[in-house]
Amino acid sequence: MPTILVDNDLCTRCGICSVVCPMAIVTPADEHTLPIVNDAMAGMCIQCGHCEVSCPSEALLLNIRPEEKVLLPAGAGTISPETMAYYLKKRRSVREFSTDPVSKDQILELLDIARYAASGGNGQPVQWIVVHDPEKVKKIAGLTIEWMKTLLNTDHPMRDYLPVMIAAWENGRDVICRNAPHLLFAHIPEENPVASVDAIIALTHVDIAAPSFGIGTCWAGFVAMAAISFEPLRKELQIPAGRKTAYAMMFGHPQYNIYGIPRRKPLVFTWR
């Protein structure tokens, strides 16, 4: 099966597909031949699609589920630097949520965007567990507190902070998941040495895209730490064999709107 499909009538033989291929496996066209990936090099293709999306005449198609190709409308996705700056600077970690649930359809739309996050070698190792039931979120928060209790009287770096967290929980305050209606876990292969970075990149895509859906997020650090080693929580999540959680994120509709941009530390940088 050919790695790329090229339309002879549309191909201008510009050579861009060969230049942008990160694996340098696309043999450029000449006046007699079209671009091609030789069979001996086909196994090196990482299916990134650079060749396809960089073709100005749309003559080339990466031969992976070609029937699913979606045309990019003219101007789609174009955002001015000013708009992008305001959008990102306005983003907040949300810790007060409404009781209105996020629909499963919206969550799937959000995760579909995260499928396009960068990953090492285009390995796309990140998979997801979505805890949609608020009661299950509360249970996970409680299990995280139980994990914290196991760290009392140890040399854990959080040992001086734990009694405050546990006391707040026992007094009825959800200091773990902040009464968020939903939780999102990214999980990755246990033996992949770079997949944890891939997961953070994918979760960042979720974090950045979420406000456009009217969804607020907050990185759930305590839950993420507990899910790594606390077996009762791992059992609750039913993490697939051979995989591990990378990080967690709480999310839901924000209870309050954002009306400004806060200050940050001055930019520190060095030209080299």
For residues 180-191, average pLDDT: 98
Residue 82 domain flag: no
Residue 83 belongs to a domain: no
Residue bearing tokens 């997949």: 195
Interval 40-89: pLDDT, tens: 999 999 999 999 999 999 999 999 999 988 888 888 989 999 999 999 99
pLDDT (0 to 100) of residue 31: 86
Are 170 and 230 within one domain?
A: yes
- Asked whether residue 102 falls in the same domain as residue 62, the answer is no
- pTM for this one? 0.91
Facing residues of 222 across strands?
none
The structural domain count of the chain equals: 2
* Sequential DSSP letters for 71-129: ---TTTT---HHHHHHHHHH--B---B-SPPPPHHHHHHHHHHHTTS--GGG----EEE
Is 29 inside a domain boundary? yes
Same domain, 115 and 212: yes
DSSP state, residue 36: B
Q: Is residue 162 part of a domain?
A: yes
Position 18 scores a pLDDT of: 95
pLDDT at 146: 97
Is residue 112 in some structural domain?
yes
220 with 147, same domain? yes
Q: For residues 34 and 98, state if they share a domain.
A: no
Q: What is the pLDDT of residue 1?
A: 87
What pLDDT was estimated at residue 75?
A: 87
- Give pLDDT tens digits for 102-159: 999 999 999 999 999 999 999 999 999 999 999 999 999 999 999 999 999 999 998 8
Regarding whether 226 and 128 lie in a shared domain, the answer is yes
Taking residues 150-175, report their average pLDDT. 94
Across the beta sheet with 127-131, what order do the strands follow?
A: 127-131, 182-189, 243-252, 216-219
For residues 148 and 213, state if they share a domain. yes
Q: pLDDT (tens digit, 9 = 90+) per residue, 189-247?
A: 999 999 999 999 999 999 999 999 999 999 999 999 999 999 999 999 999 999 999 99
Pick from 56, 51, 58, 57: which is nearest to 37 by CA?
Answer: 51
- pLDDT value at position 71? 85
Residue 159 confidence (pLDDT): 87
Q: Which two tokens stand for residue 235?
A: 């059992």
- Residue closest to 59 by CA, chosen among 9, 109, 133, 131: 9
* Residue 102 shares a structural domain with residue 156: yes
- Are 60 and 129 part of one and the same domain? no
CATH number of the domain to which 15 belongs: 3.30.70.20
Q: Are residues 141 and 19 in the same domain?
A: no
**What's the pLDDT at 14?**
94
Instruction: Report the CATH number at residue 200.
Output: 3.40.109.10
What is residue 70's predicted lDDT score, i.e. its pLDDT? Answer: 85
One domain, residues 16 and 138: no
Domain that holds residue 9: 4-67
- Domain assignment present for 138: yes
